[in-house]
Amino acid sequence: MKITRRNFIGGMAVTSLMDLVPQVSSAKNFETQKNIIAGPGRSLLMDPGDKLTNLWLYNGSLPGPELRINEGENLNIHFRNQLTVPTTIHWHGVKVPNAMDGVAGLTQPAVEPDETFSYKFKVSEPGTYWYHAHTMGWEQVARGLYGALIVDGIKDFKVDHDITMMVDDWRLDKDGQIDEASMGSLHDWAHRGRLGNWLTVNGKSQYKRSVKFNSRIRLRLINAANARILKLELTGGVGLQVSLDGNPSNFTSVSKFEIAPAQRIDLIVDVGTKPVLLHDLSSREKILAGIIEPRSELGQGLVNRGILEPSGLKGIPHNLNNAIRLKVHMQGGAMGNLSQARFKGENHTIRHLARVEKKVWAFNGVVGTYEHELAEVARGKVVILEVFNDTSWPHAMHLHGHDFWIRTSKRSNNHIDVKRDTYLMSPKEKAELIFLADNPGQWLLHCHMLEHMASGMVAVISVV
Query: Mind spelling out the 3-state secondary structure of 94-112?
Result: CCCCHHHCCCECCCECCEC
DSSP-assigned states of every residue in 339-352:
-EEEETTEEEEHHH
Instruction: Tell me how far, at minimum, the Cβ of 224 lies from Cu ion, in Å.
Output: 16
Q: Which of 214, 452, 456, 458 binds Cu ion (CB under 5 A)?
A: 452
Question: Does 143 interact with ligand C2O (rule: CB under 6 A)?
Answer: no
- Alpha-carbon span 248 to 405, nearest angstrom: 12
DSSP-derived letter for residue 157 is P
Task: Quote the longest CA-to-CA distance of the chain.
Answer: 82
Instruction: Tell me how far, at minimum, the Cβ of 140 lies from ligand C2O, in Å.
Output: 12
92 binds, among Cu ion, ligand C2O, none (CB under 5 to 8 A by kind): ligand C2O
Q: Which of 95, 134, 191, 194 binds ligand C2O (CB under 6 A)?
A: 134
Question: Does 416 interact with Cu ion (rule: CB under 5 A)?
Answer: no
Question: Which one, of 17, 248, 263, 3, lies nearest residue 125 by Cα?
Answer: 248
447 binds, among Cu ion, ligand C2O, none (CB under 5 to 8 A by kind): Cu ion
Question: Does 372 interact with ligand C2O (rule: CB under 6 A)?
Answer: no
- Shorter beta-carbon distance to ligand C2O: residue 53 or 140: 140
- Alpha-carbon span 415 to 435, nearest angstrom: 15
Are the CB atoms for 114 and 148 separated by under 8 Å?
no
Indicate the residue type of 441.
G
> Which residue number has the CB closest to ligand C2O?
92
- Shorter beta-carbon distance to Cu ion: residue 264 or 452: 452
Question: Does 234 interact with Cu ion (rule: CB under 5 A)?
Answer: no
Instruction: Count the site residues for ligand C2O by CB under 6 A.
Output: 10
- Alpha-carbon span 440 to 72, nearest angstrom: 20
Question: Does 367 interact with ligand C2O (rule: CB under 6 A)?
Answer: no
For ligand C2O, what does the binding mask look like between residues 419 and 458, x meaning CB under 6 A?
Answer: -------------------------x-x-x----------
Q: Segment 276-315, which members bind ligand C2O (CB under 6 A)?
A: none
Are the CB atoms for 436 and 384 separated by under 8 Å?
no
DSSP-derived letter for residue 263 is -
Question: Does 161 interact with ligand C2O (rule: CB under 6 A)?
Answer: no
299: left (phi over 0), alpha (psi -120 to 50) or beta: left
DSSP-assigned states of every residue in 304-355:
-----------------TTPEEEEEEEEESTT----EEEETTEEEEHHHIII
Q: Which of 398, 402, 407, 452 binds ligand C2O (CB under 6 A)?
A: 398
Q: Segment 381-400, which members bind Cu ion (CB under 5 A)?
A: 395
Instruction: Tell me how far, at minimum, the Cβ of 452 lies from Cu ion, in Å.
Output: 3
SS3 403: coil
- Shorter beta-carbon distance to ligand C2O: residue 133 or 416: 133
Instruction: Tell me how far, at minimum, the Cβ of 90 lies from ligand C2O, in Å.
Output: 5
**Using CB under 5 A as the criterion, which residues of the chain lie in contact with Cu ion when the complex forms?**
395, 447, 449, 452
**Using CB under 6 A as the criterion, which residues of the chain lie in contact with ligand C2O when the complex forms?**
90, 92, 132, 134, 262, 398, 400, 444, 446, 448
